[in-house]
Chain A
Amino acid sequence: MSGSFLIQALVFMAAAIIFVPVAKRLGLSSVLGYLIGGIIIGPFVLGFIGSEGADIMHTAEFGVVLMLFLIGLELDPKKLWEMRRAIAGLGSLQVVTTSVLVIVVFIFAGYSWQLAVPVALAFAMSSTAIALQTLKEKRILNTAAGEASFSVLLFQDIAVIPILAFLPLIEVSGITAQSSHTQSLLSGQPAWLQIITIIAAVAALLLAGKYLVVPFLRFVSRVALRELFIASALFIVIGVAALMILVGLSPALGTFLAGVVLANSEFRHELESDIEPFKGILLGLFFMSVGATINFSLISEDPFFILALAMAVVVIKFAVLFAVGKRFRLSSDQNFIFSFGLSQIGEFAFVILSFSNQLGIISSSDSSKMMAVTAITMLTTPILMLINQKLIDPRFGVKEIEDDIEPDKIDVRHSVIIAGFGHFGSTIGRLLRANGIEAVILDNDSDRVDLLRKIGFKVYYGDATRLDLLKSAGAEEARLLIAAIDSPEVNYQLISTVKSNFPQLKIMARARNRYDAYELLEMDVNNVYRETLYTAVHLGVDALTELGFRRYTALRQGQKFIKYDERALRKLAARRHDKQEYILSVREEIELQEQVLQNDLQQSMETTDSSWDSEKVRKVLGSD
């Protein structure tokens, strides 16, 4: 490890630490922060990073590979099926129309179709990182615009796979292919053989994912060592990527498929949260190296061309998106958000362009120019969104009329997280599910997770007290967290993590008993449910009935008992730290409770339920 490596690492990190927060503060996405940081440290501004930027970019491309793995993990087949119309309709219309228009423009401008096709496909992509980030930050992921955007991005993510698979088939002459890093088994083979190999490799991957990887992960998870699991996760991703490179396929494609295969397994959340930090860092590095490799001398040769092209692409993309949105009946204000939000060229363009460059379809200088165009369009999105918000929306946006006459929609998607799915948690889960609410369930017993999944519950394996796992379970968007873990200590730990990291999340906590409840009340949890209280009172009410009480009277006594007891609990929780006083006050409280109940028994015949008590009414009215 040479000193220059450390210095380089320092430069990149410093740039990230300085520029990403600045971009965030200015309301721009973090992707832009990385890009600008890269530009500034690159050879054309400060020159901290020279030609090695390109090498770093190749390494950092692995961030894109990891991102595709994570996107694959998000795509469980059921969700895909639910969104099939939006994805296939909106998405395909957008990609096809945009590509065709861009191809037409390029061919008119005198370029060859071999260049026009990959560039057009690259330009049809929008940035998942920028668009989703923006929608999330504006909290509009669940609106019509948010869902439409997500569908289109999803279609593009999927479309990348065939695009990357078929790019090698474009015949090129004139430009000699750059020597690629690895020699694949297939180089030099005829095209039909390549296609067959690709299909076979994909099939093998799907089978292996299901029958090899999941049992392997199950085996590792039994060891219960976290670093071992992380290592296994990385092992799978890197392994798949290496395998794909060996057969001459895109590693991004392979890991994406691996992700899809694992999306349905109980390890999904665990994998997500383990890979996420690596992806984040590498992707940041990738964006920075893209910034650093933008060749400004090329741009300065013909700045007008680059800028004009960037503007033209944004206009085309916006127009196509707007037309597609209209066709799918988005209201105009939603359509503006949707169309502006996706009007940039996405990070996949970098992948497609550099891949095409490696294949020798596009020359290095063309590829640099197109990357510069891509980066510039990324810069425009936050500005366009701001213009939309300040200028367009207030004037042209049709505000949807608030119509409370229609039944309220209950958001059933991921609004509840249940931590702990033993007898207690699973009862809650069943009740919610019977009412059409699918909770995200976290449990750390992998055998139980397996069993419950077979019955059809959506249960994820993992330690619920871990911040990253909570995050990938959707704690940032969820409304309710039900803390139902068996061990009170683990429950406390979970609650304090949630309290400090997701203050918006309402907590409902299981308490084993009175003392557990004190602890929880002290942690400022208001919704505390003692598992010993309600069942015991229920039994008590039945016992009273057995002894000759009328059922309704016994029931009302039970209701009142719970009410008094809850009140007493809160009073005692405040006092219990002074031990002496605690002991005293428990006795006091019990006496009080007894007294209260004694009174109550008479009262319920006299004051409280007075209208029903003919004796009492007669007495008050003074007549017989």
Chain B
Amino acid sequence: MPEKILVIFAHPLLEKSRVNKQLIRFYKERGNITLQDLYELYPDFNIDVEHQKELLTEHNLIILHHPLYWYSCPPLMKQWIDMVLEVGWAYGPGGDALNGKQMMQVITSGARKAAYTESGRNHHSLREFLLPFEQTAMLCGMTYLPPYVIHGTHRLSNDDIRTYSEELSALLDLLSAGVPTGEATTGADYFNELLKEDL
């Protein structure tokens, strides 16, 4: 069964983001993907909660796509998480609307991967910083897939961006066909590694 994918995308200054502008094009080209460009839809932070809940119900893979600012997502995405994942609906007693779905992050980060190590300037791995998201998925009964990460975005050449775009496209092909489950995915730090192996 082809997956129905919901992409929640947040970038407060997309017009200046070379990488993300290129990446979100792929979402628009695919029939099984619904793109929610949050800063375009709710510039006043007034999120239509009911509509977002409906969309979540209709899709079985949720991708949170955002740049990493101060080790977290842009504020409108946090607003989305706060407002939409309601108690009694997404978690807590009776909160089983998202049970069994899968969640994944697509992240762009200005820093290089080497910065996210114990000896690097950020002292922790990226996955450690992403724990709040992972736990959010867990609390809502969703499977958290390893994130797809593009590091060092400030230094990417146009060719690099094209390469990443192609990789993301391949990732979407893979996910559309059905997400590999179990050990195969839970073991990896980044989804990037899985794309390089044969799945």
Contact = CB atoms under 8 A, between A and B. Distances in A.
A3 interface: no
Interface string A337-349: 0000000000000
A570 interface: no
Chain B: interface size category? 10 to 19
Nearest to A562: B46
Given A560-B46, A620-B93, A405 B88 contact: no
Contacts of A403: 158
A600 to B, nearest CB: 12
A388 B15 CA distance: 36
Nearest to A407: B15
B25 A404 contact: yes
Interface string A385-409: 0000000000000000001110110
Contact of A608 (B15, B49, B88): B49
Contacts of B88: 610, 620
B154 interface: no
Given A405-B158, A405-B161, A560-B46, A609 B83 contact: yes
Given A405-B22, A559-B44, A620-B88, A611 B93 contact: no
A616 B16 contact: no
Nearest to A560: B46
Contact of A621 (B18, B21, B92): B92
A612 B84 CA distance: 12
Contacts of B92: 617, 620-621
A162 interface: no
A517 B18 CA distance: 41
Contacts of A58: none
Contact of A404 (B22, B46, B85): B22
A622 interface: yes
Interface in A570-623: 607-612, 616-617, 620-622
B97 to A, nearest CB: 14
A404 B87 CA distance: 41
Interface string B88-127: 1000110000000000000000000000000000000000
A466 interface: no
Contacts of B54: none
B87 A610 contact: yes
A623 to B, nearest CB: 10
Contact of A607 (B15, B18, B86): B86
Contacts of A329: none
Contacts of B85: 611
B46 A611 contact: no
Contact of B15 (A408, A559, A560, A622): A408
Given A404-B22, A405-B161, A560-B46, A611 B83 contact: yes
A407 B22 contact: no
Contacts of A609: 82-83
A563 interface: yes
A609 B46 CA distance: 11
Secondary structure at the B interface, as helix, strand, loop or mixed, is helix
Contacts of B93: 620-622
Contacts of B83: 608-609, 611
A563 to B, nearest CB: 7
B15 A621 contact: no
Contacts of A610: 86-88
Contacts of A538: none
A407 B16 CA distance: 7
A556 B47 CA distance: 11
Contacts of A616: 87
Contact of B21 (A405, A559, A607): A405
Contacts of B16: 407
Contacts of A607: 86
Contact of A563 (B46, B86, B87, B158): B46
Nearest to B44: A559
B82 A612 contact: yes
A621 B22 contact: no
Interface in B12-50: 15-16, 18, 21-22, 25, 44, 46, 49
A403 B158 CA distance: 9
A621 B161 contact: no
Nearest to A613: B87
Nearest to A618: B87
Nearest to B49: A608
A617 to B, nearest CB: 5
B49 A621 contact: no
Interface in B55-77: none
A611 B21 contact: no
Nearest to A406: B18
B41 to A, nearest CB: 13
Given A404-B21, A610-B86, A612-B82, A559 B46 contact: yes
Nearest to B95: A620
A1 to B, nearest CB: 65
A408 to B, nearest CB: 6
Specify which of B21, B87, B158 lies most central, judged by the most chain A CB atoms within 10 Å of its CB.
Answer: B87
A621 B25 contact: no
Contacts of A622: 93
A139 to B, nearest CB: 24
Given A556-B46, A620-B93, A405 B86 contact: no
A621 B86 CA distance: 12
B82 A611 contact: yes
Contacts of A611: 82-83, 85-87
B87 A620 contact: yes
A36 B138 CA distance: 78
A404 B25 CA distance: 9
A596 to B, nearest CB: 14
B156 to A, nearest CB: 10
14 contacts: A404-B21, A404-B22, A405-B18, A405-B22, A405-B161, A559-B46, A560-B46, A607-B86, A609-B83, A610-B88, A611-B83, A611-B85, A611-B86, A620-B93
Interface of A: 403-405, 407-408, 556, 559-560, 563, 607-612, 616-617, 620-622
Question: Would you list the 4 A-B pairs with minimal beta carbon distance, nearest first?
Answer: A611-B82, A559-B46, A620-B87, A620-B88
Interface of B: 15-16, 18, 21-22, 25, 44, 46, 49, 82-83, 85-88, 92-93, 158, 161
Given A407-B16, A611-B82, 13 more contacts: A404-B21, A405-B18, A405-B158, A407-B15, A408-B15, A563-B46, A607-B86, A608-B49, A609-B83, A611-B87, A616-B87, A620-B88, A622-B93
